[in-house]
Amino acid sequence: MFVPLMTSIWLIDGSIQNKSLSSKKDFYKSLSHAAEAGWWLGFGFFVAGLWWLGAAVLAEADKFAWALPLAIFGLPAVLAVFTSLGFMLAACVWPYGVSRIFVFAVALSATEYLRGNVLTGFPWNDIGMSLGTNVVLAQLASVIGLHGLTLLAALIFAMPAAAFSTHAGRGNKSLSPLIISLALLALLGAFGAWRLSGPAVPNVQDVRLRLVQPNAPQDDSFRSDNRDAIVTNYLALSDRATSPTTSGIADATHLIWPESAFPFILSRDRNSLERIGAALHPGAVLITGAARASEPEPGHVGVHYFNAVQVVNSSGVVVDSYDKVHLVPFGEYIPFDSLLRKTGLQQFVHIPGGFEPGGQRRSMSIPGLPTVAPLICYEAIFSGEVMPQVAGGQRPSVMLNLTNDGWFGQTIGPYQHFSQTRLRSIEEGLPLVRVANTGISAIIDPYGRIMGSLPLGVSDVLDGPLPQAIPETLFAEYRQIPFMIMLLCSMLLAVGFRRRA
């Protein structure tokens, strides 16, 4: 990130270079140039990071190939508006010397925060992930969260620009900004190393997880009329021996299948439920993704469908269900439905009218497990929004993420999704169990360390214990307050450096 963020400083420098800004015309022209530079840089950043969305469009090319340019270029063009806004806000008060780095960091992290929250929010590839993908550097997220990492990343990676250039010909070149940048990076690493140096996290007793990654293709074979073959394949894979000492399903207390495991309504298919129940030993349960249909209500026409996590016991009974709250726009529902459907637009999932959102984020009570915070697909990428409201203030003890990244094939998309999901375990101090159709499936401890995983694009199972939760982190307790304090401190530092210049 050194190159794009240092370049950002020089682009804003160039937008106001040699302009007196004594007139409103010069001022607005400078803002316009900064906004334009920010948009182009943001557009390039998002195209480079989100091109793989085109794979989802081509999964059913006969229906959605026309949307390929929108997926690859349209979304980045919209997201780049936030980068443009950040550049423009910084240019409004652009000072000299090191202080402008703090102004830039505040403006950019503030607009990245907006990007993750405006409308439904889309914090994918937030700049803070440049630090968050490294388990050592990411440990400070337990205090300041993703958005705090974004502000730090902007400071660290943009700071050297002040060492290699002067603004408007003022000030002397100095290595101090470079030293500050490296010192911040070193302190970040030292904190992470210290936090990871403690004893190993103990496991929850009497819990034996079996994660099933079917690698099921997103093609015509995944249809409701193939339900028997699909369930047979799941059960056969679930019963696979993973070592000479394992014997399959019988070893697991909790069998876990991914999101969208069935192309039919599982809770209404008695035969499939009975087959699943018969495969489980007494006391064991299956946790699986499945579409759920609402029961008919007097006076209401039609059925509502939900993207759900369901728990099936050894009697073949669904004992708990959670409905996804944060749906994917255009993937699971159409925004402004009544207007856009008139154009013939439809969502990617084959559900009449798309999915309905669940009522509220809530925990699940799963036999044999501590309280679970369920997260379906990209619900897990929203920093500070993954915890359900629990009566009495008791937090869950484990996060469960079921997802289907099969739409994106062998691209960088699933790796990005995995990294962003893993950061939630560091922020919350909770273990994370992630089961994905095509990968990456993993068991992650509350420090973000991978205890076991399955790679992308393989059909396999993973057995493992469940790590215990650690005490509530500062981020889990205070959420975005530390980030807001960082914003304030950075603005004060910008003023202080400006007075010294």
Active-site amino acid positions: 259, 324, 377
Q: What is the DSSP string of 270-330?
A: HHHHHHHHHHSPTT-EEEEEEEEEPPP-TT--S--EEEEEEEEETTS-EEEEEE-SSPPBT
Computed on alpha carbons and rounded to an integer, the radius of gyration of the chain in Å comes to 25
H and E: helices and strands count for the chain:
17, 11
Q: Using the 8-state DSSP alphabet, how is residue 268 labeled?
A: G
Distance from the Cα of residue 454 to its chain's centroid? 19
Q: Which residues, other chains included, contact 344 with Cβ-Cβ below 8 Å and sequence gap of 6+?
A: none
Dihedral of alpha carbons 165, 149, 408, 344, sign: negative
Write the secondary structure of 390-402 as one string of H (helix), E (strand) and C (coil).
CHHHCCCCEEEEE
Q: Using the 8-state DSSP alphabet, how is residue 373 labeled?
A: E
Quick check: 230 and 272 in contact, CB under 8 A? no
* C-alpha separations of 352 from 23, 333, 405 in Å: 57, 10, 22
Identify which of 148, 142, 154 has the alpha carbon closest to the alpha carbon of residue 482: 148
Identify which of 209, 215, 259, 256 has the alpha carbon closest to the alpha carbon of residue 379: 259
Pairing mode, if any, of strands 209-213 and 254-256? parallel
* Distance from C-alpha of 18 to C-alpha of 31, rounded to nearest angstrom: 14
Sequence length of the chain is 501
Residue given tokens 């999901």 in the structure block = 421
* Distance from C-alpha of 345 to C-alpha of 334, rounded to nearest angstrom: 8
Residue 44 tokens read as 């390039």
Whether residue 440 has a cis bond before it, omega within 30° of 0:
yes
* Distance from C-alpha of 140 to C-alpha of 184, rounded to nearest angstrom: 12
* Distance from C-alpha of 313 to C-alpha of 203, rounded to nearest angstrom: 23
* Distance from C-alpha of 415 to C-alpha of 442, rounded to nearest angstrom: 12
Looking at the DSSP bridge assignments, the partners of residue 464 are 209
Identify which of 275, 289, 308 has the alpha carbon closest to the alpha carbon of residue 214: 289
Quick check: 42 and 82 in contact, CB under 8 A? yes
Q: What is the DSSP string of 24-91?
A: HHHHHHHHHHHHHHHHHHHHHHHHHHHTTHHHHHHTTHHHHGGGHHIIIIIHHHHHHHHHHHHHHHHH
* Distance from C-alpha of 48 to C-alpha of 75, rounded to nearest angstrom: 12
